[in-house]
Every structure is written in structure tokens, then in C-alpha cells.
Amino acid sequence: MSYPENNEFKKIQFYLTANYNCGYISGKKAQSIVASPYQNIKQKEFDNLINIGFRRSGNHVYKPHCHECEACVPIRLNVKDFKPNKSQIRCLKKNNFEVIISDLNFNPEDFQLYQQYQSIRHQDQSTSEEDQKNEYINFLLTSNIKSQMIKFFIQDKLVMVSIVDILVDGISAVYTFYDQNMPKLGLGTYSILWLTDWCKKNKLPYLYLGYWISDNAKMSYKTRFKPYELLNKKEWKKFNE
């Protein structure tokens, strides 16, 4: 197995996890490369890791590395090239939110929306509220680099929260959760369109969308934003112009 090589990673060690159940493809086992210790992953190191396909979950910076599977493909948008389709344009026109950007912090209203999203979207009712709260804090509100939360409101009602990491060359979308009782608003689509526009306004060239997996229907939305770029053999390549 080859580990990332870069002069910026001299203070970072990489280790391979044990096998665990894949959260993306049913019945598969997965492994990841994890960058450690997290205290040594400063902004510059993190930017370089994101550019070669790593992601952040809490203080864990990782990249899938499975022996017999390469399904997880890093995907990003070059916001200068992005062209919204007719459906995405309609989504932009029909929505008008109040948006508040803040540092990561715990708020009961945010957590309640997260619980609703997990319960309905992912049918997750297996953990206690206290365990879910700890998971929410550790997974979304803990970060060693510059991260922010973007809250979307309709008439003072919170309907969506996006957690993002701020990079030198763009934005990395960490996680978005939203009101599951408003399907006609296309909130998930709108969040990506809003982030794309935010990148443009801040002169940031890329919006990183994590991993795309062709065999996972929940990931299919990522390739609806075109053209997109996939990381293939250490090189970002453009698709579907």
C-alpha cells in the first residue's frame, strides 16, 4: 500500500484501519487511511489532503482504501465552469431564504432538525438521544481547521443547516441536513447551488462534494451538477460538459 507523499505531510503519520462494515454499499467491508495526529493537521496540510481525496469527520481526516473496491471517487465542481440545468434554475428561483453564517456551535434548534433528518432520511432510531447528541457534536461540531455552519430560514423557521470547511482553493461540503417535510423545495439541491454561488462571490474555484459512488442511489445527485470533476489516479478530470 502506498501512503500520500508530500513535503507538507512530514509531521503527519498515516495508518490503515481494520475492516469495518461499509456505510455506502450493503454487504461490503471497508478500510480507510487515516491521517494522524489531528493536532498536526493545520490548514495548509488539510488543504493538501483534501486535494488528493481525503475528507474530514470531526477530528478524523480519512480516505477510503479498500483492497477490492474503488467505488468511492472524490468529486468536486469547478464553479467557473458549472452551468445549472433548467431544474436547478427553477430551484433557485422558487426559494428565498434568510441565511446566517456562523462558527461551529451547539444549538438545540439545530440538533432537533438533525434528529428529524436522521430519523426520516436515514431511519436512524437505534441510539439514545444522549448518544445521538454526542455523535452530532463529535461528527459535525468538532474541527481542527476553519469550519463554518450555514443556516437557512423561512420566516424565522430553521429549515436547513450546511457544515462546510473553508479551504484556500474552495469549500468542502462536510454535511447538510434539512427539514424532511418540505420535499418540494429541493433543499439538498439548493444547498449545493448556494455553496457554488458563495464560492464564486469569495473567488474560490472549487466546491468539494466528498465521494461519489455509482452503486449508491443516495449519491447520484452529485453528478447532476455539470460539468463535474472526478479524482482519477491522482489527477482531477472533467466529465459531462
Number of domains into which the chain is organized: 2
CATH number, domain of 170, equals 3.40.630.30
Pick from 50, 72, 94: which residue ends a domain? Answer: 72
Question: Based on the domain organization, do 105 and 64 belong to the same domain?
Answer: no
Contact 19, 29 (CB under 8 A): yes
- pLDDT for the residue 1: 46
Residues 127 and 156 placed together within one structural domain of the fold = yes
What pLDDT is attached to residue 241?
65
**Whether 219 and 176 share a structural domain:** yes
| pLDDT tens sequence for the chain (241 residues) | 455 666 678 889 999 999 999 988 888 899 999 999 999 999 999 999 999 999 999 999 999 999 889 999 999 999 999 999 999 999 999 999 999 999 999 999 999 999 999 988 776 666 788 999 999 999 999 999 999 999 999 999 999 999 999 999 999 999 999 999 999 999 999 999 999 999 999 999 999 999 999 988 888 899 999 999 999 988 999 998 6
Same domain? 98 vs 51: no
**What's the CA gap between 132 and 193, in Å, rounded?**
29
Distance CA 217, CA 24 (A): 10
- Same domain, yes or no, for 21 and 83? no
Domain membership flag for residue 53: yes
Is residue 214, in this structure, part of any structural domain at all? yes
Whether residues 102 and 221 share a domain: the answer is: yes
Give the pLDDT score at 6.
Answer: 64
- In angstroms, the CA 135 to CA 205 distance is 32
- The rounded distance, in Å, linking the Cα atoms of 22 and 26 is 7
In a domain, 2, yes or no: no
- Domain containing 13 equals 7-72
Burial of 5 (0-12, 13-18, 19+ CB in 10 A): exposed
Amino acid at 11: K
Say if residue 51 is in the same domain as residue 138: no
Last residue of a domain, one of 20, 55, 72: 72
User: Which of 24, 46, 72 delimits the end of a domain?
Assistant: 72
Measured CA to CA, the distance from residue 204 to residue 237 in angstroms comes to: 18
Residue 84 sits in the same domain as residue 21:
no
* Distance between CA atoms of residues 45 and 190, nearest Å: 30
In a domain, 1, yes or no: no
User: DSSP secondary-structure letter at 122?
Assistant: S
